[in-house]
Structure formats: structure tokens, C-alpha cells
Amino acid sequence: MKKTVLALAVAATTACAGVAQADVKVGFLGGFTGGIESLTPPIFDGAKLAMAEVNAQGGLFDGEDMAMPSGDTTCSDASAASNAADRLVNSEKVTAIVGALCTGATIAAANNAAIPGNVVMVSPASTAPAVTDLDDNDLVFRTVPSDAFQGEQLAKLLLSKGIEDVAVTYVNNDYGQGLDDAFTKTFEAEGGSVTVNLAHEDNRADYRSEIGQLSAGGSQTLVVLAYADTSGQTILRQAYESGAFTQYAGGDGMVGNSLIEAVGADVLEGMIATRPGSPDTPGTDIFTDLANKAGIDPSAVFAAQSYDAAFLLALAIEKNGSADRDGLSEALRDVATAPGETILPGEWEKAKKLIDEGKEINYEGASGGAEFDDNGDVPGIVVEMAVEDGKFVTKGPVGE
């Protein structure tokens, strides 16, 4: 049952949907339906937790509330993502956006609504390298490292476990292509063999033909770079039925307990995966405590990154001095970057006081530091995940 802090966030969001009681809107774009629908709720909860803390500790400016209207991108439908973003930008008049989550949705929302509307977006989950190359007028940021890094780490992890040949299938979009490219290049450069590499389309009911092609290479390990609630789930179920593979692996899009429930705990026991993680810092410890008190799983995929995205945007809006969109990206870089007094999760009142006094701050968040580079990207760590006793568990940072 959600506790008081999260209840405040829900109340604020509900109020925004009806009679507009809040003065500053930060939108949220997520895949509430589609390929990551089971992963999206805790990511949304992470952002709402940050919003609730802002409102409970004095709000923005002279006590204005922060509200978070949301939109559904479906993850994979560019038109849905564009329409949801257009509503937030042009009807809801948001100052900024947390999201989107899936890379294709982020790119569509940015190109068709946010960039034309001069709206800053901070994605907590769009990991594909394609985000780096957006011509975005310094409006698109992310609090999660690129898959160029995650793909390398997944390849090295499998090789470290003595897995020297794999069959790979990836969802045919920016996310799947980017992750596959990084994984395959590293795996082969480090001495491994990719026996078959095959793209697949999302949201199909039957992948038996693809599984036949994948198994023809003779590898016993199948790497699936897709989504837990759509193609990834179906492929794993049908791969098991085929009897062709004995070991499964995947990236962050596959890390959801809904996948285990759908395919079977016995089937997936020992599955290996990776996802962006959080370093062991004071900020991560504080977030863990705040999330637990609010009834949120602090280890949920991208929940910490979403908290950071929302908290950073609130800090930037306060720093910018108004709910105007102009100047917000510069303010975002200011509050996320040294020098300045360190601000940790939950320290809104402290941060607001320092900003109002004209002092510099440096946010060190729930998922680590947020030192944005010229492209709006951040460094990060990748953690190993494994299915043990019917659930995904974190084994620790890859390479340590």
C-alpha cells in the first residue's frame, strides 16, 4: 500500500487532471501500454516521489505546486508518442518532460513536439546510442548511460562466464539495433562467436520461424534484446518449447518479473541480464530509504533514474526563476554540474534555499552523479541481473 509521500504525489497528479490547482507542470511520457507496460508504473512512481517531495518541502518559487500530467507512448508507436507529447507541450503547456522511456518514443516526441516547442526532455530510460546524435538544440537529456556501454558490458559478462558462442535476436528498432551493434562488436572482438544474428519485428504472436533460424547455428545460448511484455516474452516461451536452447540472456528491456510469470520460473532460472544501475553512494542509500517508505521498490528498473530526472527538472526550474521554457536547459546543466554545494535526494528545501540565495548547487542523485556531457548523456554503471528462485536479483556491477 502506498504511503503518505506517494499519496501526496497521486493527489497532485489527480488534481492536475481535473481542476488545475498546480502552477508548474512537468509532464511524464511513458509506455503505459505495450512492450514495457509492466516496467512503467514504478518508473512513473519514481518521478512522482520527487514531485511529492518538492511540494511537501515548500514547492517551487513562492509555494507553487508541481504537477505531473502524463501521456502514453505505447513504447513502439511513433504516432502515439508524438500525439502524447503534442498534448503535453501544446495543451497542458508543460515546462518540461520526464521521458520518454523507449528510445523510438523519445525521438518521435522530441522531433515532433518538444524541440519545436522549446521543451526540455530528460529521459530516465532511453538507452539507444541514437539519442546521442539528435539535433535537439540542447533540449534532450538522459539520466541513464547509452547502450553503447551496456552492450559492451553484456558481451564481456557472458564471455567471463565461459559462454563463447551465442545466437542473438533483437527487436528491429533504435533500441534493439543499437544494443545489438554494441554487443556483437564487443563479443566478437573479445573472441566470442555470434552464430546467428537476426532482427525481428515486435508485437507478433509467432516467432517459430525466427527461432528455427537462430537454432540452426548450433549455439545453446540465446540472447534476446527486446521487451519483456511483447516480443521478448513470446520468443523465450517459444524458444523453450522448441528445446533448442539451454541458456538465455538479455538486456534491460527484458528485466521484469512479469517476464518470469509469463514464461515460467523454472524455464528462466539462471537467465543472465544487464541493466543500468546505481553506484554505492550516499544518494543511492537515501533514495532506497525514501522509496521504501513510499512503498516503491527502489531496485525497480529505471525508478532511481526517473526520480533523478524529475528532481533535476524541478531544480532547474527553480534555478531558472520561472516556469518559462527559455533558459531551462542551461539551468539544468548548472544544477547538475560541479562546482556547487552537494544536494542529495530528498533535500529540496536545502536546495531551494541555496538557489534563492544565489549560490551554486551540484545534484548527486539516486542513480549517481548527473554530469551531462555536450550531448546530454551521462556516465554510469551496468549491473548484472540473474533469475534466481523465481525473480530477477541484482548480482552487482559488471566487471567488479
Q: What is the pLDDT of residues 260-288, one digit of tens each?
A: 999 999 999 999 999 998 888 899 999 99
Which amino acid, 134? Answer: L
CA distances from 330 to 93, 137, 316, 320, 374 (A): 20, 11, 8, 9, 12
Residue 130, pLDDT score: 93
Q: What angle do CA 357, 64, 345 make, to 5 degrees?
A: 65
- Using alpha carbons, select from 321, 323, 328, 330 the residue that is nearest to residue 352: 321
DSSP one-letter code for 64: B
Mean pLDDT of the chain: 93
What pLDDT sits at residue 274?
Answer: 97
Task: Give the position of cell 546505481.
Answer: 278
Tally helices (H) and strands (E) across the chain: 14, 16
Please state the rounded mean pLDDT for residues 176-194: 97
Q: What is the dihedral of CA 186, 192, 196, 198, to 10 degrees?
A: -20
pLDDT on residue 16: 42
For 89, left (φ over 0), alpha (ψ -120 to 50), or beta?
alpha
The C-alpha atoms of residue 112 and residue 334 are separated, in whole angstroms, by 27
Burial class (CB in 10 A: 0-12, 13-18, 19+), 209: exposed
**How would you class 51 by CB atoms within 10 Å of its CB: exposed for 0-12, middle for 13-18, buried for 19 or more?**
buried
pLDDT confidence bin for 22, thresholds 50/70/90: low
pTM higher than 0.75: yes
Burial class (CB in 10 A: 0-12, 13-18, 19+), 133: exposed
pLDDT at 399 over 60: yes
Percent of the chain clearing pLDDT 70 (strictly above): 94
232 or 23: which leads in pLDDT: 232
Q: For the chain, what's the residue count?
A: 400
pLDDT class of 370 with cuts at 50, 70, 90: confident
Q: What is the C-alpha to C-alpha distance for residues 108 and 102, in angstroms, rounded to an integer?
A: 10
Given a cut of 50, whether residue 189 has pLDDT beyond it is yes
pLDDT on residue 20: 43
pLDDT tens by residue, 88-127: 999 999 999 999 999 999 999 999 999 999 999 999 999 9
Sign of the C-alpha dihedral, residues 224, 229, 235, 240?
Answer: positive
Residue 293 has pLDDT above 80, yes or no: yes
Residue 296: its pLDDT value, please? 96
Helix runs in the chain, H state only: 4-17, 40-56, 78-86, 103-109, 147-160, 174-189, 208-215, 231-242, 257-263, 265-268, 282-293, 303-320, 328-336, 348-356
pLDDT band at 68 (very low <50, low <70, confident <90, very high): very high
Phi and psi angles of residue 311, each rounded to the nearest 5 degrees, phi first: -65, -40
- Per-residue confidence (pLDDT) for residue 12, from 0 to 100: 43
Residue 3 confidence (pLDDT): 44
Confidence of residue 139 (pLDDT cuts 50, 70, 90): very high
Per mean pLDDT, which range of 241-245, 347-351, 368-372 is the poorest?
Answer: 368-372
The pLDDT assigned to 105 comes to 97
CA distances from 119 to 66, 141, 317, 368 (A): 16, 11, 12, 25
Q: Are 325 and 118 in contact (CB under 8 A)?
A: yes
Grid cell listed for 232? 521478448
Task: Evaluate whether 53 touches 78 at the Cβ level (below 8 Å).
Answer: no
* CA nearest neighbour of 53 among 234, 236, 311: 311
**C-alpha distance across the termini of the chain, in Å:** 36
Q: Which residue has the higher pLDDT, 309 or 371?
A: 309
Cα separation, 124 vs 115, in Å, equals: 18
Ramachandran region of residue 278, left (φ > 0), alpha (ψ -120 to 50) or beta? beta
Q: Which residues contact 76 (CB under 8 A, 6 or more apart)?
A: 31, 34, 35, 102, 104, 105, 173, 202, 203, 230
pLDDT-based confidence at 1, cuts 50/70/90? very low
